[in-house]
Structure 1
Amino acid sequence: MAIEVRIPTILRTYTDGQKAVEGSGDTLADLFADLESRHNGIRERLVDGGQLRRFVNVYLNDEDVRFLEGISTKLSDGDSVTILPAVAGGSGMSDGPREQR
């Protein structure tokens, strides 16, 4: 079973710079174990305590796996998994109206 995994820039040090790698597994957890066997250290960047890390977003065929079965989400041959680091920034608070320049 072949599954394409798209790797974000920040994790490409684990995949020798590859933007996408191939993996296999019946579930997302199995896929991450398979990736770890070929790309040492990548799993710990994705999983903590058997769950997806809080600041990692994983999509299965463009669906957020958090709304599916998380790390237990079942996979099929030909699926595409995209890993994205969560992006955050700014406080969201304003000190008042901004001056127009």
Structure 2
Amino acid sequence: MTIFIPTPLRQFTGGKDTVETSAATVSEALAALTVAHPELRKHLFTAEGKIRAFVNLYLNDEDIRYLPEKEATAIKPTDTLSIIPSIAGGC
């Protein structure tokens, strides 16, 4: 599958905007991503191993928080996973 890396995190993937990985589930894909690029782990996961609250993940165009299996959702090689960090701000 293809994982899209947002601009702020590309410094931890050697500047790559996408990373290809083989996995059976979203969780396994993220594990493979953080094994290949260990510095990403602290930006994506809490110390307890949970996805950080400000990190949004989209499998194809679906927010994984609303999928029945969430991170355990099965994936296909043609799927895409987009990592979208939340941006806070305002007046």
How far does residue 70 in structure 1 lie from its aligned partner after superposition?
Answer: 2.4
Structure 1 residue runs of 4+, over 6 Å off? none
1:3-42 equivalent positions in 2, closer than 5 A? 3-42=1-40
Q: Which structure has more RCO (C-alpha within 8 Å, separation ≥ 6)? A: 2
- Tell me how far apart the structure 2 counterparts of residues 73 and 50 of structure 1 sit (CA, whole Å): 17
Unaligned stretches of 5+ in structure 1? Answer: 92-101
- Tell me how far apart the structure 2 counterparts of residues 76 and 90 of structure 1 sit (CA, whole Å): 38
Q: Could you tell me the TM-score, scaled by structure 1's length?
A: 0.79
> Secondary structure in 1 aligned to 2:58?
strand
Inter-CA distance 46–70: structure 2 relative to 1 (3 Å threshold): farther
Q: Could you tell me the TM-score, scaled by structure 2's length?
A: 0.87
Aligned length: 89
Inter-CA distance 34–59: structure 2 relative to 1 (3 Å threshold): same
Unaligned stretches of 5+ in structure 2? Answer: none
Structure 2 residue identity aligned to 1:17: G
The structure with more helix, counted as a fraction of residues: 2
Give 1 or 2 for the bigger CA radius of gyration.
1
Bigger Cα displacement from structure 2, 31-40 vs 12-21: 31-40
- Tell me how far apart the structure 2 counterparts of residues 64 and 79 of structure 1 sit (CA, whole Å): 13
RMSD: 1.4
Corresponding residue of 2:56: 57
How far does residue 60 in structure 1 lie from its aligned partner after superposition?
Answer: 0.3
Paired-residue identity, %: 42
- Tell me how far apart the structure 2 counterparts of residues 67 and 47 of structure 1 sit (CA, whole Å): 19
- Tell me how far apart the structure 2 counterparts of residues 18 and 57 of structure 1 sit (CA, whole Å): 19
